[in-house]
Amino acid sequence: MRMASDCYSCILDRAKFGSDLVFTNDKDKLKVLEELLSFMACHKGDVPALVGTEREKIIQKYSGNPDPYKALKNDSNRLARELMPIAQQFYEKSENKLEALIRIAAASNSMEFGVKGHDFDNSTFGTTFASTLGENFEGDLTEVERRLNKFDNIFYITDNSGEIIFDLFVIEKLKGMKKTVVIGAKSEPVLNDITAQEVQGMTEGKIVPTSPIVGISLDSISLEALDLLSNPKWLVISKGMGNFETMSEFDSRFKGKLIYVLRAKCQPVADALGVRKGTLVVKSI
């Protein structure tokens, strides 16, 4: 997926959001925004997530902080643990357990900061999570079920902190279906994404680092993650917008073994998926 006109203002808004987390001096914030503007001017038509990666590198460089979102990530994980009983109850009461799992995975992708037009705050999400689980849902569950029956191995590529708590619940249910699941997470801190090192403290499952960027790049992905992504015996479940933005550039080579699960939080992603903005989505490639 390539940059749309909406992406430019969104990337700048998020640069301001990230700068506010680590700087008190407006001059420092201006340095970030000005360097980012120069980069954007020279990278027209790039993948939004890759431009976003450069934005995060600029913030990290000027702040000297390798993980500007760390406090928000910890708070998101705390909140998600508090909300897990709602997800568990939703799953237990659902007649269609597969749909319930997909809804939990997609609804938890709401936990994202600084996306223009997407209103999210840790302090208020608890009051809306239950209703989010029941929102409009787009996708072919029959095809998802067919693939889950076909594949014994799943490479589950994660996205945000907070959301990971719900992902681990979904993964445990997949293991209960006799699936072997390997978890993919960021190799280094970027945005509020969960890292492989952070997931290690949350589960005994196998974890491999993916990329140090927003989304997945074949140029920077770890060899172990690339082997799983390319192996025809492994189904890939990819969470979130950043992974969709990047992987949609090369996902045709993984046709028949890739499933995107996300909330379409911005208009360009919604347009690319052919859904309304804000929709919970499962898309099979």
- What DSSP letter does each residue of 110-154 carry, written as one string? G--SS-TT----HHHHHHHHHHHHTS-EEE-HHHHHHHHHH-SEE
Q: Are residues 49 and 80 in the same domain?
A: no
User: Which of 243, 216, 233 minimizes the C-alpha distance to 225?
Assistant: 216
The last residue of a domain, from among 63, 83, 100:
63
Q: Are residues 122 and 31 in the same domain?
A: no
User: Which of 274, 277, 215 minimizes the C-alpha distance to 247?
Assistant: 215
Q: Supply the pLDDT for residue 118.
A: 47
The last residue of a domain, from among 45, 63, 81:
63
Q: Are residues 209 and 108 in the same domain?
A: yes
Angle subtended by helix axes 70-93 and 163-176, to nearest 10: 40
Tens of pLDDT, residue by residue over 106-154, are 999 987 755 544 455 666 676 788 888 988 889 999 999 999 999 999 9
Q: Report, as an integer, the average pLDDT of 233-247.
A: 97
Task: Please tell me the total count of domains within the chain.
Answer: 2
Q: What pTM, to 2 d.p., does this model score? A: 0.94
Q: Are residues 42 and 80 in the same domain?
A: no
Tens of pLDDT, residue by residue over 61-75, are 999 999 999 999 999
Q: Are residues 117 and 252 in the same domain?
A: yes
Task: Please state, rounded to an integer, the average pLDDT across all residues of the chain.
Answer: 93
Q: Are residues 49 and 91 in the same domain?
A: no
What CATH code is carried by the domain that includes residue 140?
Answer: 3.40.50.10880
Q: Are residues 238 and 179 in the same domain?
A: yes
Residue range(s) defining the domain that contains residue 21: 5-63
Spatial distance between the Cα atoms of 4 and 141, rounded to a whole number of angstroms: 29
List the beta bridge partners of residue 206. Answer: 182
Spatial distance between the Cα atoms of 113 and 72, rounded to a whole number of angstroms: 9
Using pLDDT thresholds of 50, 70 and 90, give the confidence band for residue 264: very high
Q: Supply the pLDDT for residue 113.
A: 54
Q: Are residues 57 and 136 in the same domain?
A: no
Q: Supply the pLDDT for residue 123.
A: 65
* Strands, E assignment, 186-243: 206-209, 234-239
Interacting residues of 164 by C-beta distance below 8 A, sequence separation 6+: 77, 80, 158, 185, 194, 198, 199, 202
Tens of pLDDT, residue by residue over 2-41, are 999 999 999 999 999 999 999 999 999 999 999 999 999 9
The last residue of a domain, from among 18, 38, 63:
63
Tens of pLDDT, residue by residue over 163-209, are 999 999 999 999 999 999 999 999 999 999 999 999 998 998 999 99
The token pair that represents 166 in the structure block: 């719900």
Task: Write the DSSP symbol of residue 194.
Answer: P
Question: What are the contacts of 83-89 at 24+ separation with CB within 8 A?
Answer: 83/125, 83/126, 83/129, 84/165, 84/166, 84/169, 86/129, 86/130, 86/133, 87/129, 87/133, 87/166, 87/169, 88/169
Report the percent of the chain where pLDDT is more than 90: 88
Q: Are residues 95 and 41 in the same domain?
A: no
Chain center to CA of 14? 16
Q: Are residues 137 and 79 in the same domain?
A: yes
Q: Are residues 42 and 181 in the same domain?
A: no
* Phi-psi category of residue 25: left, alpha or beta, with phi > 0 → left and psi -120 to 50 → alpha: beta
Q: Are residues 215 and 266 in the same domain?
A: yes
The answer to whether residue 60 scores a pLDDT higher than 60 is yes
Q: Report, as an integer, the average pLDDT of 219-234.
A: 97
